[in-house]
């Protein structure tokens, strides 16, 4: 059974600080991981994906993957109120034909 676990939160972070979102997964065969942002009532939008161990940076966002620990994280630097949303972690494994396995999401609140 493929599982992706996230702390549901809410995670409250002051504006301008670094928000750290974490995710663990059970399937050691998982190859790639995706972070989606979802505003209330809207569909998810992709922030970034990572498939190699280490860090991947894109603007204010950094994804980190540690396959030995089965751990994925997303750091958001200089957090803005517009970053307030639910962040979904998802993994893909095997051939990937059956899509992504999603965690339940972490609700992030950026306090002005």
The residues binding other proteins (CB under 8 A) are 4, 6, 8, 31-32, 34, 42-46, 49, 51, 88, 90, 92, 95-105
Q: Minimum distance from CB of 23 to other proteins (Å)?
A: 11
Is the CB of 8 or the CB of 26 nearer to other proteins?
A: 8
Q: What are 24's strand-pairing partners?
A: 5, 71
Asked whether 86 and 100 are in contact (CB, 8 A), the reply is no
CB of 22 to other proteins, least distance (A): 15
Cβ contact 34:100 at 8 Å: yes
Bridge partners, 106 (sequence order): 87
């Amino acid at each position: 059974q493929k599982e992706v676990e996230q702390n549901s939160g809410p995670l409250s972070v002051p504006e301008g600080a670094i928000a750290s979102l974490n995710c663990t997964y059970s399937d050691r065969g998982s190859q790639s991981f995706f972070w989606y942002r979802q505003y209330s009532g809207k569909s998810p939008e992709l922030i970034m994906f990572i498939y190699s161990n280490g860090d991947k940076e894109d603007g204010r966002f950094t994804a980190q993957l540690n396959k030995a620990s089965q751990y994925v994280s997303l750091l958001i630097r200089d957090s803005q109120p517009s970053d307030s949303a639910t962040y979904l972690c998802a993994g893909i494994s095997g051939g990937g034909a059956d899509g992504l396995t999603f965690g339940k999401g972490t609700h992030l609140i950026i306090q002005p």
